[in-house]
Amino acid sequence: MKMITLMSSEKQKFLVPEAVAKHSLTIHDVIEDGRADNKIIRITNVNSRILQKVIMYCGRHVAAAEKMAYASKPYKVAEKLKKWDVGFLDTDIDTLTDLILAADSLNIPGLPDRACMRKSCRHSKG
């Protein structure tokens, strides 16, 4: 399994499977274009705490996609993933905002929309 190192704004490094890193379309393009500096990709606008959460989200979604490809009942995998997403996004408003900004800049499919919907729900509660 090929690994990629992502570096946060505080220069903390995260060793990530390439498939997980490529869930970010921005990182995918950097890797495909050969712009990864010695397999280290600097994510200068995302702090370590949020980058770790983004990696967790991408990892879960990549694993679910792989399971769905071979599952006899892929809808069950999708249901589990949806429940996981709800729990993952059950966080404070500042973290949701940071996740939205990170997901938008890294172009992570689905995460900005899910987080924005969750933020709207949290905001309307008070």
- pLDDT per residue as tens digits for the range 76-96: 999 999 999 999 999 999 999
Q: Which domain holds residue 78?
A: 3-125
pLDDT of residue 120: 66
| List of residues 6+ apart from 111 with CB closer than 8 A | 54, 57, 99, 100, 103
pLDDT of residue 117: 80
pLDDT of residue 125: 47
Task: Give the integer Cα–Cα distance in Å for 51 and 55.
Answer: 6
Alpha helices (H) in 71-92, listed in sequence order:
74-88
Question: CATH no. for residue 83?
Answer: 3.30.710.10
pLDDT of residue 115: 85
pLDDT tens digits in sequence order for the chain, 126 residues long: 889 999 999 999 999 999 999 999 999 999 999 877 677 999 999 999 999 999 999 999 999 999 999 889 999 999 999 999 999 999 999 999 999 999 999 999 999 888 888 766 555 544
Name the pTM for this structure.
Answer: 0.89
Indicate the number of domains in the chain. 1
